[in-house]
Chain A
Amino acid sequence: MRILAVDDDPVSLDLLEVLVAQIGGHQLTCADSAASALSLIGESPLPRYECLLLDIQMPGMNGIELCELIRSNAVYANVPILMITRMNEKHFIDDAFKAGATDYLNKPFEISELRGRLNILSRVSETNRAHTGKIFAANTSGTTPKPELFGLHSPVPLTDIEGVIDYGAMENYVSQLSRNSLFGSSVFALRILGVAQIFEGVSQYEFKCLVTDVAEAITLAMQDHQSLTAYSGNGTFVCVVDGGWRPNLKRLVDDIQHYLALMDLHLNDGTPINAYLCAGRSVRLLSRGGERAVDALCEARESVETVSAEMEYSPLGMCLAQHSA
């Protein structure tokens, strides 16, 4: 990968150069400030760098502000960003992921940790490149059939919604909380009822708009609380909330439905579309470590899938699903 590392400490940059060279397979460019990084990133139709490593504590613009600014550039909307930092308090981790960080690595670190993270980010970068290639193919060949850009189960990346992050970043977020022993948060999932029928009946663009609108409604309903939401595919949204807030999920779903009703959703041809949600059970991240924290996300998803399956097969659920589609 072509990597850009940004850190005001020359020792940190020297160290990264040596470690990345030893890991092999990457080209590293270093910047000693956010301003210098932005100048290197410049303006181009394709990303000049395939991965960014950002320190947080820097004079002038800090790494979290830089991350947010880079993410606002559409060319870098999906480029993996790894925060490499000494800042291990929860609010820094929260803010970094909210600003668009893909992963978080605490200093000091071992070369094996850096190698592991870069391997994962390299795969993310390859997936992004493949996806971008399909979009370019779709845009440049007018006669070919519309390519399958994503499936029902794809965790479609949603951009420009505050508090919404990629599902991969969400897994990294809960892992980071557990690494830093910042337990106490809980996770739950919400799912669009009859999502398979909806997916079959609308275009991919319309489906992505629907998922985006639902994500926006979810964040509006939770705007007074510390939370992060990710779309994991198959109409399912996973939300992590701070330990201090134990949401009443039934009331939360009602609030989300209220916001969706206000949005007055329509398909491209003007046909109204309704999305009805259900919630699974809340799973505590308490005392979970490493991969077990990620397992909590899976438990939350499984729970909502069970609930939605029960509801979709009930007479009311069938009625709602047909009404949506």
Chain B
Amino acid sequence: MTELADFQAALVKVRDRFLSVLPERESSISSLLNEVERGGVCADCVDQAKFALHKIAGTAGTLGYGDLGRAAAAGEGELAIYCGTSEGSSELADKLRVVLDLIASAQSSAGR
């Protein structure tokens, strides 16, 4: 196996690890979206979703999921505005939906 092939194989393993932790992160984001849609957001739920978006935004881009990384970063930014408040917004909900769609797309393309 060539050096490049070794590198690519190692990156695929990291990508698999990224995909393996996505369901947990997806669940946090999804929970927040449900609360936003119901019109009330709890601080704990915001923290968990913010953590999930932060982690996705940190590595997705380097692993070839640039769109997902940028969407997560946008969601994190939008969420920062609402941190500590009890209100959500349609802008936040829209950004969370984009992230969830891209997570589904990443999982689907990886056969998960």
Contact = CB atoms under 8 A, between A and B. Distances in A.
A158 B11 CA distance: 41
B83 interface: no
A205 interface: no
Interface string A110-153: 11000000000000000000000000000000000000000000
Q: Which of B11, B14, B60 has the most C-beta atoms of chain A within 10 angstroms of its own C-beta? A: B14
Size class of the contact patch on chain B: 20 to 34
Interface stretch (A12-20, A215-223, A301-309): A12-20
Contact of B11 (A10, A12, A18): A18
Given A57-B54, A86-B54, A108-B57, A15 B62 contact: yes
A10 B25 CA distance: 13
A11 B18 contact: yes
Contact of A107 (B13, B17, B58): B58
B23 interface: no
Nearest to B57: A86
A9 B10 contact: no
B39 interface: no
Interface residues of A, number: 18
A10 B69 CA distance: 17
B59 A18 contact: no
A9 B54 CA distance: 10
Nearest to A88: B73
Contact of B62 (A9, A10, A21, A108): A108
Nearest to A15: B14
A22 interface: yes
Interface in B29-60: 54-55, 57-60
A45 to B, nearest CB: 35
Interface in A1-36: 9-12, 14-15, 18-19, 21-22
Contact of A86 (B14, B17, B58): B58
A126 B21 CA distance: 39
A11 B57 contact: no
Interface string B87-111: 0000000000000000000000000
Contact of B59 (A15, A21, A22, A111): A15
Contacts of A57: 54
B57 A15 contact: no
B17 A14 contact: yes
Contacts of A18: 7, 10-11, 13-14
A111 B17 CA distance: 19
Given A11-B59, A109-B62, A21 B10 contact: yes
Q: Which of A11, A85, A86, A111 has the most C-beta atoms of chain B within 10 angstroms of its own C-beta? A: A11
B14 A11 contact: yes
B25 to A, nearest CB: 10
Nearest to A85: B58
A163 B25 CA distance: 38
Contacts of A10: 17, 21
A9 B17 contact: no
A180 to B, nearest CB: 13
A108 B14 contact: no
B63 A9 contact: no
B61 interface: yes
A10 B14 CA distance: 9
7 contacts: A9-B59, A11-B18, A11-B21, A14-B17, A18-B11, A21-B10, A57-B54
Interface of A: 9-12, 14-15, 18-19, 21-22, 57, 85-86, 107-111
Given A9-B58, A18-B11, 13 more contacts: A10-B21, A11-B59, A14-B14, A15-B14, A15-B63, A18-B14, A86-B54, A86-B57, A107-B61, A108-B57, A108-B58, A108-B61, A111-B62
Closest 3 CB pairs of A and B: A108-B61, A107-B58, A18-B10
